[in-house]
Amino acid sequence: MLCGCAEQLGNGSISLKLQTNRPLVFIQDQLPSYTRDQIWEWMSEAHARWSAVCDWQVRRIHDLAEAGPNDYVQTVYVADLGGDGILADQRLPYNGGRRLPMRLNERIRWVPTNGNFQNGTIDPIRTI
Q: How many residues does the chain have?
A: 128
Domains for the chain: give ranges and CATH numbers. Answer: 24-127 (3.40.390.10)
Please write the tens of the pLDDT for every residue from 22-32. 889 999 999 99
Cα separations in angstroms, 92 against 11, 36, 69, 71: 15, 22, 17, 14
Is the distance from CB of 92 to CB of 18 less than 8 angstroms?
Answer: yes
Model confidence pLDDT, tens digit, residues 82-125: 988 899 998 877 777 788 899 999 999 898 876 676 777 888 98
Sign of CA dihedral 32, 33, 35, 36: negative
pLDDT tens per residue, range 22-74:
889 999 999 999 999 999 999 899 888 888 877 778 899 999 999 999 899 99
